[in-house]
Chains A and B, each alone.
Chain A
């Protein structure tokens, strides 16, 4: 158990819908990262927040957005969902803003039908 929690574990929704994925980092970690893992794309970095502020951005679509709240939990919002958005979404956390030592949550499996 990494100490990072993600909810929900599974999510099934229809195209065009909007969903919110939630992540709680390890106690004491200030940095949260979001990743998408699909069969054909591998593990792709989406976005990073550190202590409430956006720190780094990867290949995140404009339909996706995220935020980190004062209690340090983070939410990833996915809108206008397409079939291709079906994937595992992982959240990771680290103590600092600059660390490859990241601790991953169990992921949320999103299925868009």
Chain B
């Protein structure tokens, strides 16, 4: 399982776009990149998953450069309700049963 590094915390203001970067220098060829969001005392919520280039859904976008050694979760126009911990996971799907969530990034959105 690839080791990931994320900022411990980030601050933003309502209406801004937030980009959270995750470093995964030892990502393997078959590894996917997955992001989760977790609010206090709630279970994590799947946000987005990607392998390369760009993936977009109704919640976020995921940008993955060609070397795949990092990825960026982009949240457009955040609101106070986006205040949460965001986790980056990297691994091959056959190891999904051993998901390692790490410490995540605590995003605080201010009014």
Q: B103 contacts A33, CB within 8 Å?
A: no
Contact with B along A2-23 (1 / 0, CB 8 A): 1010000000000000000000
Indicate the member of B49, B94, B96, B102 with the most A CB atoms within 10 Å: B96
Contact with B along A80-98 (1 / 0, CB 8 A): 0000000010101010111
Which chain B residues border A45 with CB–CB below 8 Å? 97-100
Contact for B99 among A102, A103, A106, CB less than 8 A: A102
Separation in Å of the B45 CB from the closest CB of chain A?
7
Size bracket, chain A contacts? 20 to 34
Separation in Å of the A92 CB from the closest CB of chain B?
7
**For the complex, what is the distance from the CA of A102 to the CA of B36, rounded to whole Å?**
9
Q: A105 contacts B93, CB within 8 Å?
A: no
Separation in Å of the B71 CB from the closest CB of chain A?
13
Q: How many residues of B contact A (CB 8 A)?
A: 24
Number of A-B contacts (CB under 8 A): 67
Separation in Å of the B19 CB from the closest CB of chain A?
21
Contact with B along A31-49 (1 / 0, CB 8 A): 1010000000011010010
Q: A106 contacts B43, CB within 8 Å?
A: yes
Q: Contact residues of A with B, CB < 8 Å?
A: 2, 4, 31, 33, 42-43, 45, 48, 55-56, 58, 88, 90, 92, 94, 96-107, 109
In addition to A43-B87, A48-B98, A98-B97, 15 A-B residue pairs with Cβ atoms within 8 Å of each other are A4-B43, A42-B101, A43-B38, A43-B44, A43-B101, A45-B98, A48-B97, A58-B98, A97-B96, A97-B97, A98-B93, A102-B46, A104-B42, A106-B42, A109-B41
Q: Contact residues of B with A, CB < 8 Å?
A: 32, 34, 38, 41-46, 49, 87, 89, 91, 93-103
Q: Can you give 6 contacting A-B residue pairs, CB < 8 Å?
A: A4-B43, A43-B38, A45-B98, A48-B97, A58-B98, A104-B42
